[in-house]
Structure 1
Amino acid sequence: MWQSIIRDFWIFPMILIVYGIWRLRNYLRAVKLILTLNGPRIVPFLGNTGYLYDEDLLKTMSHTAYTTYGSFFRLWVTAFPFVVLLEPRDIQQVLSSTKHTDKVLFYKLLHNFLGKGLITSDVSTWKSHRKILQPIFHVNVLEQFVRTFNRSSKTLVKCLEGSGELGVDITRTVNDSVYEILNETILGNKKECEISNSPFRKGQLLFSYRLTRPWLLLDWIYRRTSHGKREQSHRDDLSLACERVLKSAGKSNSISLLELMVEAQGKHKDFSNDDVRNECCTFMLAGQDSVGSALALTLFMLAKHKKWQERCHEELTRIFGEGQRDPEVSDLREMRCLEMCIKETLRLYPSVPFFARTLGEDVKIGEKIIPKGCGVLIMPYSTHRLPHHYPDPHDFNPERFNSENSSQRHPYAYLPFSAGPRNCIGYKFALLEMKSLISAVLRRFHLDVAPGREEISPKFRVTVRVKGGVWVKARPRDHSGGKNLEYCR
């Protein structure tokens, strides 16, 4: 009898062990694969998360990652194994497939920074919302926002008038102009607002903080910390800000993404007010840092590379003559040289230096099989500088993006807005916005780099930042029609 009881007692834990192994089978397969791959040195418990604090991480990603580890290597994020893919043909296998659209679990740590909308949502929510929101970002809708772009361009130009001989850090000025645009085009708020008091400008990114303290990955612990409580308070402020605007929806004749989403609710009953609020937060939060960074860095690159600055100005003169009229969407489309300069800046300094996916099925890369459920990291900052896709990859050469060169390049060698079915829904909006703001500056000013600020030092964050800011000098142009030969060298 006792032998039977003892035998039965051991059956239950054995069943639990077998069940646990079955549930962890893909994780164990991923670990087995990871142990065969090359990669940077790891630290117990933290893995490679310490690299998030490395001031030279972007330099490492762009200069030595490929030559040191190859196109396919491993990283540990605490106890979670990731495979890094740098080669476009391998990246295409993941990003082009609808089977690999799930984001890795760490994206939930970005809700305070990116919102709970399209970027961070689960697959089922993303599919539903993307289908609803895609028509809202049609170019015919975006055309209606050009007037807002033009108004904010004038504000930016006015702020640059007093840059002086020492130049000015344009980071905050540019971000304020971007916020002004988003405030009106997304929320429909035309009133002047106190930017510094906006909850959309107060978020604190705690992604790295939590990753380097693995116990804080457990929400029930993190929520009880001072950081967790502040983050929840900030989320509440964001929700209230969107709720106030949502209550006024339909009372204005102006068009905004919020108004269009409210209209979409009439056709899609499962698109709730909470969904509208989440998407508004995402567009407001994600649109600021990414566009602000790209805008400031493009102005800097044009200040540094006078030949391209003057080519862009000549293009603008062909479009507008010597007049000072505001651009229309047809004018923005004609700014092909400026678009090439923006794209080349985003190649060198993609606003989002990395992103990740969870595999929905096994993927074969070379002779290796990456198992279903494994996290895959994509690093545009590295891929954009592969010399066999971009000769002299560290040089600023916008000709890479003329029609001939673009057509010959692998489509997944350029990823500033991601690629495939889960690419950035707002990339056309962003390009029109940047063209409008940059063209207004170039029509009014000669740009120079500020003395002692000729080089920039990008630092690794969820979006690329520049240590010490982005400094330029802005000198009024001579609108007499004469050509300043000094800037044609």
Structure 2
Amino acid sequence: MAATLTLLLWSCLIAPVFYILWTVVKFWQDVKKRGKAVMQFPGEPPHWLWGHLHLFPGPDEAGMTFLRYVMWDMSQANSIWFGSYYPVIAFSHPNYLKHILKTSEPKPLTFGGYVTALPWLGDGLLISKGKKWLRNRKLLTPAFHFDILKPYMKVNNEAADILLNKLDGYSKKSETFEVFNAISSITLDIILRCAFSFESNCQLQKSHPYVTAVKQLGDGMVYRLLRPWLWNDFIYFNLTSSGRQFRRNCDFVHKVSEDLIAKRKKTLEEQGVSAAKGRYLDFLDVLLTARDEDGQGLTDREIRDEADTFLFEGHDTTASGISWTLYSLAEHPEHQQKCREEVQEILAGRDSDHITWEDLPKMKYLTLCIKEALRLHTPVPFIERRTTKDMEIEGKFLPAGSVINMMLYNIHHNPTVWENSMEYRPSRFLPENMKCMDSYAFIPFSAGPRNCIGQNFAMHEMKVTIGRILNRFRLELDPNHKTEHVISVVMKTKDGMMMNVTPVDKKPSENDVHVNGCVTQNEA
């Protein structure tokens, strides 16, 4: 009996050890297989421990310059090692990435960028895969039908009214203002009203806690991504202050969405779908009432995940696009003026300066300027996919499980794709200039079946917000402030983006001179 118990005890002790050893061996076999595929592509020799991380200056201007020129000098596709166990193939040319984007290959959730987003965004459309992604994409597509988007124009204009009043206050006091904070507030205001019919008054607050939490979450993701020793959840969330702060921010943004969902569910239960009558149908209505072919709706967790994903993508990425477009137009006053004249011509003879649904296709030059800003200052610089089957791309064999980083920022700046790629030149998007361009050369909203489901919503919001601002104000960069890029989850600035606004009906003084798009006084 004692011998049997001893044997059983040893079995209980040895079995976990063998399981751990088997897991480790299997893991390193997978790394070796993927590493062999990655090493087909050019790249700096990786460090045995750090990979290429020690070469990367950081997620700032220096880091972006490093990524641009190192990639271009080597090839259209490169090898990158995040530490010693996460090999990645980086694509910087349409010829390569189109092979991946044409498929619905999922995001990598073993290590790296997207797994760091899981505690925040959950298994929503951005991250989900397979049958779940396909089902939920079909269920949510009706939320972005033109009939649903049209009523949002009223929301966009009302939110713009508040922003214009704020800018008018800055103008009267001759104060510079920080663009990203102001624009993040209006995009959050719009998304909360369009998606949840929720009046947050966030634009009237100096600093909204949701905007602050989302910024910290984005910065936290990049911080963790560049430190592979923090990729383990137990270590990150329990042993580091940054991990505990990330968890607190997740809890806060989840509470915001859960409260909005609970309130709407109660209304629908008490009043039925007819409760939506008298107002526009919003994203939350679609989430709560959507049914698949079997009559099954979304679970409470799925609703929260999609709500969190839409709140983030609908306000942070759009805020980046609007802010960098305003920056580009302030930096290039000749393009700013052409956009202004176009908007003024559209609004001529009206009592209201509100932009209507019918006005959107008329804003042709503004659209060119927005697209060029999205190219030059790509809001989402990188996206990743993980192959589910063996593939051959441009003569290279990639085994299932290969991680592909599609470097949208690099593609949008690749000199073999774009002539004078570092220049702001809206005319490059004229139809006659784009007809010979690869359809995967400009993809700020990604492309293929997993493209951004809300890209029309975002473009409409950008046109209304920017058009209304240009109709009322001239934009001038603060000559005493240097705007520097920084890569977070979206493209932001290191120390803010400072700008001055002057009413259009106020003519510049004869003593004013323009310096890099900014107005300064001539010395007497």
Q: Which amino acid aligns with 1:185?
A: C
Q: Identity rate of aligned residues, in percent? A: 26
C-alpha deviation, 1:317, in angstroms? 2.2
8 Å CA contact 2:381, 2:491 repeated in 1: yes
TM-score, length of structure 2 as denominator length: 0.82
Aligned to 2:5: none
1:448 partner SS: strand
Matches within 5 A, 1:211-360: 211-225=225-239, 226-249=241-264, 250=268, 251=275, 253-254=278-279, 255-265=281-291, 268-323=295-350, 324-360=352-388
1:186 partner SS: helix
C-alpha deviation, 1:41, in angstroms? 5.3
Q: Given the alignment of the two structures, is residue 460 of structure 1 paired with residue 487 of structure 2, yes or no?
A: yes
* Change over 3 Å in CA distance of 1:220–1:19 after alignment to 2: closer
Aligned to 1:187: 196
1:384 partner SS: helix
2:401 corresponds, among 355, 362, 373, to 373
TM-score, length of structure 1 as denominator length: 0.88
Which ranges in structure 2 are unaligned for 5 or more consecutive residues?
A: 1-14, 269-274, 508-512, 518-524
8 Å CA contact 1:166, 1:451 repeated in 2: no
C-alpha deviation, 1:321, in angstroms? 0.8
Which stretch of structure 1 is more off in the superposition, 364-373 or 88-97?
Answer: 364-373
**Coordinate RMSD, CA, aligned:** 2.9
Q: Which amino acid aligns with 2:98?
A: Q
C-alpha deviation, 1:136, in angstroms? 0.9
C-alpha deviation, 1:422, in angstroms? 0.6
Aligned to 1:80: 86
**2: CA distance, partners of 1:114 / 1:471:** 30
Q: Which amino acid aligns with 1:209?
A: Y
C-alpha distance after superposition, 1:49-81 (max 9, x if no partner): 34272531112233x133322111100112111
**2: CA distance, partners of 1:462 / 1:69:** 26
Q: Given the alignment of the two structures, is residue 32 of structure 1 paired with residue 47 of structure 2, yes or no?
A: no
C-alpha deviation, 1:469, in angstroms? 1.6
Which stretch of structure 1 is more off in the superposition, 177-186 or 30-39?
Answer: 30-39
8 Å CA contact 1:356, 1:376 repeated in 2: yes
Which stretch of structure 1 is more off in the superposition, 439-448 or 249-258?
Answer: 249-258
Aligned to 1:3: none
* Change over 3 Å in CA distance of 1:126–1:444 after alignment to 2: same
**2: CA distance, partners of 1:306 / 1:181:** 28
C-alpha deviation, 1:239, in angstroms? 2.8
Which ranges in structure 1 are unaligned for 5 or more consecutive residues?
A: 1-11, 481-485
* Change over 3 Å in CA distance of 1:114–1:286 after alignment to 2: farther
Aligned to 2:470: 442
**2: CA distance, partners of 1:52 / 1:375:** 23
Q: Given the alignment of the two structures, is residue 168 of structure 1 paired with residue 214 of structure 2, yes or no?
A: no
**2: CA distance, partners of 1:295 / 1:114:** 23
8 Å CA contact 2:89, 2:403 repeated in 1: yes
Aligned to 1:157: 164
Which stretch of structure 1 is more off in the superposition, 170-179 or 360-369?
Answer: 360-369
8 Å CA contact 1:46, 1:212 repeated in 2: no
C-alpha distance after superposition, 1:64-119 (max 9, x if no partner): 13332211110011211100111102110011123x23434331201355554111
8 Å CA contact 1:170, 1:472 repeated in 2: yes
* Change over 3 Å in CA distance of 1:370–1:245 after alignment to 2: same
1:473 partner SS: strand
> How many pairs are equivalent?
470
Q: Given the alignment of the two structures, is residue 122 of structure 1 paired with residue 149 of structure 2, yes or no?
A: no
**2: CA distance, partners of 1:83 / 1:165:** 49
**2: CA distance, partners of 1:122 / 1:371:** 19
Which stretch of structure 1 is more off in the superposition, 178-187 or 223-232?
Answer: 223-232
The one of the two structures with greater contact order (alpha-carbon pairs below 8 A, sep at least 6) is 1
Aligned to 1:49: 53
Aligned to 2:213: 202
Q: Given the alignment of the two structures, is residue 426 of structure 1 paired with residue 426 of structure 2, yes or no?
A: no
8 Å CA contact 1:137, 1:426 repeated in 2: yes
**1: CA distance, partners of 2:328 / 2:23:** 57
8 Å CA contact 1:26, 1:371 repeated in 2: no
Q: Which amino acid aligns with 2:79?
A: R
C-alpha deviation, 1:124, in angstroms? 3.3
